[in-house]
């Protein structure tokens, strides 16, 4: 069985690698996640994963996050 909290924790750690632990981004190429709504973030991940939203950087991380989100 999948530990949902562990899976979410890993996904957030993966996001923090680029977006920072505080979610404040790292310059113009890596946007701020802090303050964004959960629904918006999940919708964005799905769009990147399904290639409905173009990004040379986010498609693979979104796919790796998996369908659990």
Return the pLDDT at 32.
95
Whole-structure pTM value:
0.71
Return the pLDDT at 25.
92
Return the pLDDT at 1.
43
Determine the CATH number of domain 4-65: 1.10.760.10
Distance between CA atoms of residues 15 and 68, nearest Å:
16
Return the pLDDT at 22.
94
Provide CB contacts within 8 A for 61, sequence distance 6+: 14, 15, 48
Tokens matching residue 32: 């701020």
What does R_g of the chain's alpha carbons equal in angstroms?
12
Express each pLDDT in 42-54 by its tens digit.
888 888 888 778 7
**Parts of the chain with a pLDDT under 70:** 1-8, 66-69
């Amino acid at each position: 069985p999948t530990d949902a909290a562990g899976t979410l924790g890993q996904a957030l750690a993966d996001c923090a690698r680029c977006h920072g632990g505080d979610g404040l981004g790292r310059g113009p190429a890596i946007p701020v996640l802090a303050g964004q709504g959960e629904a918006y973030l999940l919708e964005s991940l799905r769009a990147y994963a399904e290639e409905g939203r173009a990004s040379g950087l986010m498609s693979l991380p979104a796919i790796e996050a998996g369908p659990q989100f």
